[in-house]
């Protein structure tokens, strides 16, 4: 048993990431991919959403408009249902499991696809007007993580939310030296995180579906 004079510690305000695989991915991914290419072929320009052109590469990136999860497509409907279940469970976990995930009502105000190749990228940005954001790789292509041999290809980079500009740089805060992390793939992350999509080039396109979510509690 710890003595009252022993050093103790606790963690506060952690940044949580969530990962999960969709068991129905093999059955639905080919149809979803075909549907996303069809949406691109219908036009609307490289950035059909019309959002934040300056943060996105002028070539190599296609971004759909922001209503993807409302599409009347069987694969998209199934994926949306899985997103809903996953976000509800993650929100419950993030809040200490105090409520059953069944009480969490999830909305998707924005949802879109990216089709990327030939060095396409999305520069550092935040997602506003939401609490949790999702990135789902429908086709990862040749995406790879950062390693000793070089920077990653087409992965998500997240930047520390801890401000260190006024700190003395000594061994006491050496654990803050790394102010970014490259993750592939990540599924759910909190909206307050600054993040970017690194340039991607590969033998096949990198295709993802992204979304912003909001969550409220239903009455008991």
Q: What does the pLDDT look like over 118-170, one tens digit per residue?
A: 999 999 999 989 999 999 999 999 998 777 677 789 999 999 998 776 677 88
Looking at residue 166, its pLDDT comes to 66
Q: How far apart are CA 104 and CA 69, in angstroms?
A: 19
Q: pLDDT of 9-48, one tens digit each?
A: 888 888 999 999 999 999 999 999 999 999 999 988 999 9
Angle between helices 25-41 and 74-94 (to 10 degrees): 110
Assess if residue 15 is contained within a domain. no
Q: What residue numbers bound the domain in which 208 lies?
A: 25-95+105-160+174-213
Q: Which of 110, 117, 109, 108 is CA-nearest to residue 46?
A: 117
183 contact partners, CB below 8 Å, separation of at least 6: 17, 145, 155, 156, 157, 158
Number of domains forming the structure of the chain: 1
Assess if residue 169 is contained within a domain. no
Q: pLDDT of 73-90, one tens digit each?
A: 999 999 999 999 999 999
Which residue stretches of the chain are H helix?
25-41, 74-94
Assess if residue 120 is contained within a domain. yes
Separation in Å, CA 15 to CA 65, 132, 161, 194: 29, 12, 9, 12
pTM of the model: 0.91
Assess if residue 44 is contained within a domain. yes
156 contact partners, CB below 8 Å, separation of at least 6: 135, 182, 183, 184, 185, 186, 195, 196, 197, 198
Assess if residue 81 is contained within a domain. yes
Assess if residue 40 is contained within a domain. yes
Q: Which of 109, 62, 69 is CA-nearest to residue 205?
A: 62
Assess if residue 165 is contained within a domain. no
- Asked if 196 and 156 count as a contact pair (C-beta separation under 8 A), the reply is yes
Q: How many CA atoms lie within 13 A of 101 on its CB side?
A: 12
Once rounded to an integer, what is the mean pLDDT over residues 47-71?
95
Assess if residue 51 is contained within a domain. yes
CATH number at residue 113: 2.60.120.620
Q: CA triplet 177, 201, 63: central angle to 5 degrees?
A: 90
- Asked if 155 and 182 count as a contact pair (C-beta separation under 8 A), the reply is yes
Q: How far apart are CA 186 and CA 173, in angstroms?
A: 27
């Amino acid at each position: 048993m710890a003595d009252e004079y022993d050093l103790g510690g606790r963690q506060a305000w952690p940044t949580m990431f969530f990962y999960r695989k969709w068991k129905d991915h093999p059955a639905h991914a080919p149809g979803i991919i075909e549907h996303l290419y069809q949406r691109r072929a219908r036009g609307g320009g490289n950035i059909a959403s019309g959002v934040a052109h300056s943060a996105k590469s002028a070539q190599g990136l296609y971004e759909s408009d922001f209503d993807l999860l409302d599409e009347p497509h069987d694969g998209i409907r199934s994926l949306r249902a899985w997103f809903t279940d996953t976000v509800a469970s993650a929100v419950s976990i993030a809040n200490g499991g105090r409520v059953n995930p069944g009480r969490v009502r999830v909305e998707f105000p924005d949802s879109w696809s990216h089709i990327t190749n030939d060095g396409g990228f999305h520069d550092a940005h935040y997602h506003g007007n939401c609490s949790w954001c999702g990135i789902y790789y429908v086709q990862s292509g040749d995406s790879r993580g950062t390693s000793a041999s070089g920077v990653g290809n087409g992965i998500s980079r997240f930047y520390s939310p801890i401000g260190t500009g006024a700190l003395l740089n000594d061994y006491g805060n050496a654990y803050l030296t790394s102010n970014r992390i490259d993750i592939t793939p990540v599924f759910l992350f909190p909206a307050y995180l600054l993040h970017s999509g690194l340039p991607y080039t590969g033998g096949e396109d990198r295709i993802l579906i992204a979304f912003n979510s909001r969550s409220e509690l239903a009455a008991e």
